Chains A and B, each alone.
Chain A
Amino acid sequence: MSAATTPVKYAGQSYLIEFIVATALYVGAIVLRNHAAHANLSPNVVLATKILPILPIWLMLAVVWRYYLRIDEFARKRLLETLAIAFGIASCAITSYALLMDAGLPQLAITWAWPTLAVSWGLTAGIRNIANR
């Protein structure tokens, strides 16, 4: 069954399963990448593990897109509003921290940008859900 024809009431359940799988693949790829960096492997394998996390990142985008296709118009409106707010908060947070790094805070890799957006999205969605009860 394609994402667009899945009944709306199963959208959240399907999304949760797909999101957990994509997140697990991302975490697995990061662990493998970090392990390979300290292991005695050929340069080609190390390079492959370095770029491996790119795949689950794009898979997460596909998961969110499939969720968007499954949900109804009210949920789409809320999803897009929540993403817009979360994106704004994450952009400010990331830029602020980049400036604070120049002022002496510990250096963080750019890969923290995605988890920052994810946390911002989760918090925004949670607060909006509580406010709309």
Chain B
Amino acid sequence: MKNTLPELRARQGLTQADLADALNVSRQTVNALETGRYDPSLPLAFAIAKLFKCRIEDVFSPR
């Protein structure tokens, strides 16, 4: 999947570490998500969408 996480994060002025803390994941996990090396589980995808107040498909989409 591709995602808009870097743009959404930058818009909110968050660092990868800030986002990791907010989601209770490691910074490495945020980095893996942003670079497309890891596709999140549904619960994590929902948590990300909720944090940015948008729908999952606004964050993640098929390549």
Contact = CB atoms under 8 A, between A and B. Distances in A.
B21 interface: yes
A9 B29 contact: no
Interface residues of A, number: 11
Interface in A11-30: 11
B28 A75 contact: yes
A73 B30 CA distance: 11
A9 B41 contact: no
Interface in A67-119: 71-75, 77
B12 interface: no
Contact of B24 (A8, A77, A132): A8
B44 interface: yes
Contacts of A75: 26, 28-29
A72 B29 contact: yes
Given A9-B20, A9-B21, A73 B26 contact: no
13 contacts: A7-B24, A8-B20, A8-B24, A8-B25, A8-B26, A11-B26, A72-B25, A72-B26, A73-B29, A74-B38, A75-B26, A75-B28, A77-B38
Interface of B: 20-21, 24-29, 32-33, 37-38, 40-41, 44
Interface of A: 7-9, 11, 71-75, 77, 132
Given A8-B24, A132-B37, 18 more contacts: A8-B20, A8-B25, A8-B26, A9-B21, A9-B27, A11-B26, A71-B26, A72-B24, A72-B26, A73-B29, A73-B41, A73-B44, A74-B28, A74-B32, A75-B26, A75-B28, A75-B29, A77-B38
